[in-house]
Structure 1
Amino acid sequence: MTLSGLALAIVAVWWPAPIGRWPLWALCLLASVLAGLWMGVLSWPALLPLAVFMWLGWRASDVKRSTWWVTTALGLLALALALHAFPWFQRVPVFEAVRLSPDAPAFALFASVDKALAGLGLLAWVCRRCTTWAEAGAMWRQAAPIALASTAVVLGLGVFAHAVHWDPKWPPQAPAFLAVNLLFTCVAEEAFFRGLLQERLMQAWRSAPMGAVLPGLVSAVLFGAVHLGGGWPFALLAGVAGLGYATAYARTRRIEAAILTHFALNATHFLLFTYPARA
């Protein structure tokens, strides 16, 4: 119930009409939090960092209320949530360890509620989103070539480095993986690295030399750095992927472009190549 409610809250961010005085995503979030407390996925102390995070997001959403310290505090708290710094949020198992490719280690999927909540807050409060179907279509026409190129380059490098190889599949776990990866992973990571970090740097450096390029480069380097836990080769591939996501965002200035580019690469990797990597 908690995961489905949280997923619905993320999707509801694109629903423009409020219900009474509240946006639909906030009502879905409230229901999800209450369910999480009842089911033990959240502990009561988790409400404090969550409330502070949402308050900072509300402050950052309005240029009249936002200051450099608000944006900095929002980013640091989002990062703390994504890195599981608070012990009051539980990881929810989605499926148990299973060998998805013959030469890959077993892979288990967990949904990180704290990371998903960070993504939801950033998506709702600070990310530039499409507001009409026509705008979404124009965004995708600009982003699709970048998504295709990014997927080809990153997975091509993975094959060249013998990290993955061709392995098409549709395992029973595919629907769950794709849903969790899109809504809880791609949304959270792109909302932070592109919607918050890259966008704010683009605004701050718009008059600086290389101001159109450096924000995307910074976001890509940091995106690669947070993947160092998987080793240098994985971090380098993540950095190259981050350049693709940053390019899609810079081209459109819409968070959907980065999210869909990220998801296109991850879905192609999962469905058509060794997953997660060759042992």
Structure 2
Amino acid sequence: MNKLAAFTLAKPYVASALLLVAAFFGLLLDWLPISVAGLLALFVAALAAFHFARNRAAWVKVLLWLPLLPLGLAIALMRPEGFSYPLVFSINELYPGGKPFDLHLNTAKALAGYAVVIWLLGSAPKQMLVTGRQVFVWPILLAGGLLGVAIPLLGLEWQPKWGLHAMWFLLVNLLVTCVAEESFMRLLVQGPLQRALQRFGAAPAAFIALTVTTVLFAAAHSPQGAHAWAIYLVAGCAYGAAYTLTGRLSAAIATHFLVNAVHYLLLTYPL
């Protein structure tokens, strides 16, 4: 094995070690519950096993992939009694007459999301339908289409808001929420499903993978009411479509972030 190959192979191990060190400091600072930290260690190990099984038989890959879904969801959604993730800011009104809003840093969700990026991003083959400038255009079009549906359906109003809290929201939303959710949905669910179903044809594989991931995305957000369900389904479809069209995780993240940024900065928030 040459030095370059050895270095490439070592990179996920080094990055995972740094991630686990970050988790250890999270425990010390009480930013991470110990029960979730244990699940995170199992999740990283399972990701590594799935990564190295990419050239194995299909049944082996499926067997190693199955525990990743419940582990990832448990890490992101688990809230042990008496524990709160670190508070970034708390504000009584984001704008006159608005609702109070607290922004917490979900360290477990962030660490799990970056673990997926570490182990699966480099091994995900790009299956793109568009190239060139369209790679940058589609996230804008999809984000605009989603907002065009959400504004009348949810009754969102023009409520611009700025300040230090906006900067913190954008930073946390991009680096935690969007990266974590999109890495999980695209690299761990949509991409593997699409590749596994290629035997049925490229178009059916892409459609089924996008449909499954869209429903999972909506269900993971536990929407309340038919309108909220509809918006989360459209959102999951838009973010998944960005990934399907471009083959890039960054396109899905960009679409997700554009929607959240416009919603927070210019419209009624929170609902």
For the superposition of Structure 1 and Structure 2, which TM-score range results when normalised by the shorter chain? 0.7 to 0.9
Indicate the SS of the match to 1:228. Answer: coil
Within a 5 Å distance, the mapping from 1:229-268 to structure 2 comes to: 229-268=223-262
Write the mapping of 1:127-276 to structure 2, written as runs, cut at 5 A.
127-128=121-122, 141-208=133-200, 210-276=204-270
SS at match of 2:88: strand
Distance 2:31 2:193 in 1: 35
Distance 1:200 1:121 in 2: 16
Can you give the 5+ residue segments of structure 1 that lack an aligned partner in the other structure?
A: 1-16, 131-137
Structure 2, unaligned runs of 5 or more: 1-6, 125-129
Q: Corresponding residue for 1:38?
A: 28
Distance 2:75 2:36 in 1: 10
Q: CA deviation at 1:85?
A: 5.9
Alpha-carbon deviation of 1:43?
4.5
Query: Offset at 1:41?
Result: 2.2
Deviation at 1:178, TM superposition (A): 0.8
The code of the aligned residue for 1:165 comes to E
Counterparts in 2 of 1:95-106, with a 5 A limit? 95-106=89-100
- Identify which range, 169-178 or 93-102, moves more after superposition: 93-102
- Measured at CA, do residues 23 and 139 of structure 1 come closer, stay the same or move farther in structure 2, by a change above 3 Å? farther
The structure in which a higher percent of residues are helix is 2
Q: Which amino acid aligns with 1:251?
A: L
Identity of aligned residues (%): 34
Match of 1:84 among 73, 78, 82: 78
Evaluate the alpha carbon distance shift between residue 146 and residue 105 of structure 1 in structure 2; reply closer, same or farther with a 3 A threshold.
same
* Structure 2 CA distance for partners of 1:166 and 1:139, relative to 1, 3 Å: farther
- What does the per-residue CA deviation read over 1:80-123, in whole Å, with 9 as the maximum and x for residues that have no partner? 11111666974111111332233432111111122112211111
Matched, 1:61 2:55: no
- State the TM-score, normalized to the length of structure 1: 0.80
CA distance in 1: counterparts of 2:96 and 2:205, whole angstroms: 46
The answer (yes or no) to whether the contact 2:142–2:242 under 8 Å persists in 1 is no
Q: Secondary structure at the match of 2:105?
A: strand
CA separation in 2, counterparts of 1:143 and 1:151? 13
Q: Aligned partner of 1:183: which letter?
A: L
Q: Following the alignment from structure 2 to structure 1, what is the Cα–Cα distance between the partners of residues 12 and 117?
A: 16
Q: 1:226: Cα distance to partner?
A: 2.3
Distance 1:129 1:60, change over 3 A: closer
User: 2-side partners of 1:67 and 1:89: how far apart?
Assistant: 35
SS in structure 1 at match of 2:104: strand
Whole-Å separation in 1 of the counterparts to 2:90 and 2:132? 35
**Cα distance in 1 for residues equivalent to 2:91 and 2:189:** 34
Check the 8 A contact 2:16/2:118 in 1, yes or no: no
- The RMSD of aligned alpha carbons is 2.9
Q: CA deviation at 1:27?
A: 4.7
Q: Which amino acid aligns with 1:152?
A: G
The number of residues matched between the two structures is 255
Aligned-pair CA distance for 1:28? 3.5
Counterpart amino acid of residue 27 in structure 2: L
TM-score (normalizing by structure 2): 0.82
Kept after mapping to 1: 8 A contact 2:154/2:228: no
1:215 CA displacement: 1.0
